[in-house]
């Protein structure tokens, strides 16, 4: 056994899109232990709930993370609606579902591009981000923004999407599906990608459950955990949703699950449009949150996010807490890194799709 060496990895690294830091204990080129350090971009957003009215704070919640912005706005709004016993219109639920799945497409395509870049596939990186531009155009068309949507509010949504526009969006997404096919085929069939990712960073079913893995990281190890099959709201129950699973638990399985979720999101959006109910998109919100607390969850692109709010009969909440998917997946990531080669560390980190902006509110 060789002498161990501690090598700092991050927060600045050519491959990493996020400021995550690890102290890696190495024996030769093998990682024996990985110690994470977070806190580089802490912003104190949860404290702002004491200074912003509960209606205004949805804008702050959306800015926890740009890529997951709609989901955070939905999760916060859902928590307040539960606290105040507000039932939102059916059409608003379907519109939220559409925007949430558009966000998932946006997030997964962004991640796929970064993954391709880390593997040295520059053309594939540009292809994934070129496809993503169409998704951003749809977001801009329907919300007015390209990253921050600002359409979710307590009581429903701020904007409607006309039925004729919804049908046009489905046509654009159907055309986009062929382009996704081309990019996905490279990820799934290229021998170089197989050599770099198969059998690397493996987490078994039992380890994923014990360590609390969430999202595609858990589902790639065969854990059928997806809050969209629970009580998330939206149109998922009515569309007969089932999660995408893999059983290998390695880096390649996590890539495969996210790529297949792209097709699933396209189908969900199409199902929402076909079954879109008529009616209002919001209900009036009267009064202030009661002196009580409420807990809810949303399945973000990276996994299950948990939202907790506590009211005090004023316009400002007493407490807001958020546990993001990256918080849950960092212990799993530590397990993945044990025993891997130093050269595989960047790819393993990227396959959990870390979002340090979400992680450090």
Confirm whether residue 322 is marked as ligand binding: yes
Give the β-pairing of 293-300 and 156-157. unpaired
Residue 333 · residue 20 · CB < 8 Å: no
Confirm whether residue 65 is marked as ligand binding: yes
Closest by CA to 101, choosing from 112, 90, 93, is 93
Closest by CA to 19, choosing from 9, 28, 10, is 10
**Look-up: residue for tokens 């970064």?**
114
Longest dimension (CA), the chain: 69
Give the whole-angstrom CA distance, residue 294 versus residue 292. 7
Confirm whether residue 340 is marked as ligand binding: no
Paired tokens of 89: 């219109």
Confirm whether residue 46 is marked as ligand binding: yes
Residue 299 · residue 232 · CB < 8 Å: yes
Confirm whether residue 68 is marked as ligand binding: yes
Q: Is 192 exposed, middle or buried (0-12, 13-18, 19+ CB in 10 A)?
A: exposed
Give the whole-angstrom CA distance, residue 13 versus residue 210. 30
Closest by CA to 301, choosing from 72, 77, 103, is 103
CA distances to 69, 249, 284, 287, 336 from 340, rounded to whole Å, are 33, 14, 55, 55, 8
**Look-up: residue for tokens 């059983």?**
247
Give the whole-angstrom CA distance, residue 138 versus residue 345. 35
Confirm whether residue 18 is marked as ligand binding: no
Give the whole-angstrom CA distance, residue 103 versus residue 355. 14
Residue 360 · residue 40 · CB < 8 Å: yes
- Annotated binding site for Mg(2+), which residues? 46, 322
Give binding residues for Fe cation as ranges.
68, 358
Annotated binding site: 46, 65, 68, 322, 355, 358
Annotated binding site for Ni(2+): 65, 68, 355
């Amino acid at each position: 056994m060789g002498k161990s060496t501690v090598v700092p990895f991050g927060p600045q690294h050519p491959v990493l899109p996020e400021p995550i830091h690890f102290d890696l204990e190495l024996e030769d080129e093998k990682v024996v232990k990985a110690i994470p350090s977070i806190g580089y971009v802490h912003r104190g957003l949860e404290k702002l709930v004491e200074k912003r009215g509960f209606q205004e704070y949805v804008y702050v919640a959306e800015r926890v993370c740009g890529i997951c912005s709609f989901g955070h706005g939905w999760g916060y709004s859902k928590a307040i609606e539960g606290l105040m016993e507000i039932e939102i219109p059916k059409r608003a639920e379907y519109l939220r579902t559409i925007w949430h799945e558009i966000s998932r497409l946006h997030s997964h395509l962004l991640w796929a591009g970064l993954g391709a870049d880390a593997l040295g596939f520059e053309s594939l990186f540009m292809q994934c981000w070129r496809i993503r531009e169409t998704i951003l155009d749809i977001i801009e068309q329907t919300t007015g923004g390209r990253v921050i949507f600002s359409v979710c509010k307590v009581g429903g949504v701020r904007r409607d999407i006309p039925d004729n526009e919804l049908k046009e969006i489905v046509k654009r997404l159907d055309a986009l599906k062929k382009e996704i096919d081309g990019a996905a085929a490279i990820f799934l069939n290229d021998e170089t990608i197989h050599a770099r990712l198969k059998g690397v960073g493996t987490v078994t079913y039992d380890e994923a459950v014990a360590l609390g893995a969430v999202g595609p990281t858990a589902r790639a190890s065969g854990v059928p955990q997806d809050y969209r099959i629970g009580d998330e709201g939206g149109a998922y129950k009515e569309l007969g949703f089932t999660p995408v699973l893999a059983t290998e638990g390695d880096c390649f399985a996590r890539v495969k699950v996210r790529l297949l979720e792209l097709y699933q999101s396209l189908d969900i959006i199409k199902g929402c449009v076909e079954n879109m109910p008529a009616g209002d998109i919001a209900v009036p919100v009267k009064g202030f949150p009661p002196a009580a607390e409420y807990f809810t969850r949303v399945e973000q692109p990276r996994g299950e996010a948990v939202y907790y709010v506590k009211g005090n009969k004023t316009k400002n909440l007493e407490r807001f807490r958020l546990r993001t998917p990256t918080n849950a997946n960092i212990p799993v990531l530590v397990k993945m890194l044990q025993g891997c080669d130093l050269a595989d560390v960047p790819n393993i980190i990227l396959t959990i799709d870390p979002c340090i902006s979400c992680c450090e509110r």
